Copies of this chain bind each other. A is one copy, B any other.
Amino acid sequence: MLEFTEALASGAATPGGGSASALSGALAAGLVAMVARNTAANPGFADRAAELEEIVTEAEDLRRELVGLVDEDAAAFDRVMAAFRLPKDTEELEAARSAEIQESYKAAVEPPLQVCRRALRILALAEHVAEHGNPNAASDAGVAALLAASALEGAALNVEINLGSIKDESYRTSSAATAQRARAEGATLRNRALETVRARLS
């Protein structure tokens, strides 16, 4: 944990904001799993055992996938930087380099798009456990919603900055639209989850 924050803080380009966004999503998924487990351990919620077990399973899958995306995001951006270091001494080499730069930017858009998709699921699960889970853990469900929303917004910023270097217009338009839809849906889910948390805290 300390080491990862040190790696972020270094002047190296990776890990950077894309990896930090994925980790924020993994923390959010961990908190959803925690609230579901904590609720399942309470005899007052025995009638919800099967549903809570499903939530734990899905949240744990999301958590592990998002931890994986922390490294995938860094690896994808390392490939972009490697592409810029390719030789461009001949026309042929220069064309190959340009093609690889474009391909690597497209590959770098994938991890943050995956983070966006997973963050949307976590937001839905966070709202569910905020409403139906142990009220003692309502603030944990609220933090899950906050961290999932930041994961999504941060990943969308990373999609956007990479798309800025991509020449394929149809790819650019469709990826930007996907990120934009996720942001809009995420903002709605975030607000709904936080309203539910506030209602349970008061």
Asked if A107 lies at the interface with its beta carbon under 8 angstroms from chain B, I say: no
Known contacts A146-B154, A147-B20, A201-B160; is A27 also within 8 Å of B11 by CB? no
**Contact status B154-A201, CB under 8 Å:** no
Smallest distance from the beta carbon of A173 to chain B beta carbons, Å? 16
The verdict on A142 contacting chain B, using a C-beta distance below 8 Å, is yes
| B63 close to A9 (CB less than 8 A) | yes
Q: CB within 8 A of A13: which of B3, B11, B38, B150?
A: B38
Chain B residues with CB under 8 A of A199: none
Q: Is A75's CB within 8 Å of the partner chain B? A: no
* Identical copies in the complex: 2
How far apart are the CA atoms of A26 and B146 in the complex, in Å?
15
A175 within 8 A of B: no
Chain A residue total in the interface (Cβ 8 A): 56
Say which one of A28-36, A43-51, A89-97 lies at the interface with B: A28-36
Q: Which of B10, B150, B197 meets A34, CB within 8 Å? A: B10
CB atoms of B1 and A29 under 8 A apart: no
Q: A161: nearest residue on chain B (CB-CB)?
A: B139
What is the minimal beta-carbon distance from A151 to any residue of chain B, in angstroms? 9
